[in-house]
Amino acid sequence: MSKQKHEIAGKLIKQGEIKTLSELFHLVDRTPFSRGIGTTPERLSRILINLELANLKDIHNTSELLGITPEQAFSLFEAEFRSKKRRK
C-alpha cells in the first residue's frame, strides 16, 4: 500500500498538485516514508521542525522513493521551508 501511495504522490508532484512536504504528508504516512528514505521517524520529525537539518542524501532518497527528479524533491523541501518562514 505504501508503494502505491508513493507512486501516486510522485504523479501528483509531477502534475504540480503537491508542492510542499506538508501536502505530501496528507497523502503519505510519515513512518513508511521516513524508512523509505533511509532515516528514522524521529529524525524526519526533527527535519520537519527544522528543515535546515535535511541534507542532499535526504533529497536524493526522496526523489528515488517518489520517482521524481532531485530538482522536484528539492522544491518540496524549499517550498516547505518558505511556507514555515512566512508563518514566523
Higher pLDDT, 74 or 88: 74
- C-alpha closest to that of 47 among 66, 62, 27: 62
Residue 85, amino acid: K
| Residue 70, pLDDT above cutoff 70 | yes
pLDDT, tens digit, 9 for 90 and up, residues 55-67: 999 999 999 999 9
Domain parsing of the chain, residue ranges: 2-87
Cα-to-chain-centroid distance, residue 29: 11
Q: CA-CA distance, 73 to 66, in Å (whole number)?
A: 9
pLDDT, tens digit, 9 for 90 and up, residues 8-54: 999 999 999 999 999 999 999 999 999 999 999 999 999 999 999 99
At 87, the pLDDT band (50, 70, 90 cuts) reads confident
